[in-house]
Amino acid sequence: MTINIILLGPPGAGKGTQARKLVEERGMVQLSTGDMLRAAKDSGTEMGNKVAEVMARGELVTDEIVIGLIREKLAEGGKGFIFDGFPRTLGQADALGELLNETGQVLDAVIEMRVDDEALVRRITGRFTCGNCGEVYHDETKPTAKPGVCDVCGSTDLKRRADDNEESLRTRLLEYYKKTSPLIGYYYAKGNLTPVNGLAEIDEVSRQIAEALG
């Protein structure tokens, strides 16, 4: 069965962590606009440089750019999509609805990951990722088994993100509450919102998501 879902939640809610588990367990395709934009940033193009500045400040990139990225990926098809970090504005949500219609697909569920702000600060400031395979770690809650070495691929290229500092996080949270949190009401009204407790342990959050997806 092919299903398309959105993981909705503030920075650090655990969207990327859960998306990677869904990819592994269900063979779904993760569409993370954050990862796509970081790849554009690394391309060194003029657009990439502009995107890098906006992201480092913690502000949102324009709807036009991110909708364009998603449009390309949807056209490639796949065994169910996980929208991770998209949509982030009402304009992006409307555009996603239209894109899914055009490609004859439906949105099956929107998982709202609820986490309080204090936990978000701890999660973001302790996060690091593998630059080779993308596995996500945390200094306290998910350290690597061997210091400095990725558990999954053995790489020693472990990185921290440029926007994972307290100042950028404040802006990211403001952007979330101003522009993204209205999507909770938007999808509730459409009848496909399911909240999960994002404060629970990683495996328990996965269990709640699996229950919501049936």
Q: Rule CB under 6 A: which residues touch ligand AP5?
A: 9, 11-17, 33-34, 37, 54-55, 58-61, 66, 85-86, 88, 92, 123, 126-127, 136-138, 141-142, 163, 172, 201-202, 205
Catalytic one of 15, 20, 41, 123: 15
Question: How far apart (Å, rounded) are the C-alpha atoms in residues 134 and 38?
Answer: 12
Of residues 40, 123, 110, 112, the one with CA closest to residue 82: 110
Least distance from ligand AP5 to the Cβ atom of residue 116, Å: 12
20 has catalytic annotation: no
> Which residue lies nearer to ligand AP5 by CB, 1 or 64?
64
Catalytic one of 57, 114, 161, 179: 161
Report the C-alpha dihedral over residues 159, 44, 32, 165, rounded to 10 degrees.
40
> Which residue lies nearer to ligand AP5 by CB, 11 or 80?
11
Taking CB positions, which residue lies at the least distance from ligand AP5? 34
Question: How far apart (Å, rounded) are the C-alpha atoms in residues 68 and 153?
Answer: 32
Least distance from ligand AP5 to the Cβ atom of residue 1, Å: 25
50 has catalytic annotation: no
Question: How far apart (Å, rounded) are the C-alpha atoms in residues 49 and 5?
Answer: 30
Rounded to the nearest 10 degrees, the angle between the axes of helix 202-213 and helix 15-26 is 60
79 has catalytic annotation: no
- Backbone φ, ψ for residue 195 (5° rounding): -80, 145
Question: How far apart (Å, rounded) are the C-alpha atoms in residues 213 and 109?
Answer: 7
> Which residue lies nearer to ligand AP5 by CB, 1 or 183?
183
Answer whether 91's CB lies under 8 Å from 63's CB: yes
160 has catalytic annotation: no
Catalytic one of 20, 41, 88, 123: 88
Least distance from ligand AP5 to the Cβ atom of residue 124, Å: 6
172 has catalytic annotation: yes
Q: What residues act catalytically?
A: 15, 88, 127, 161, 172
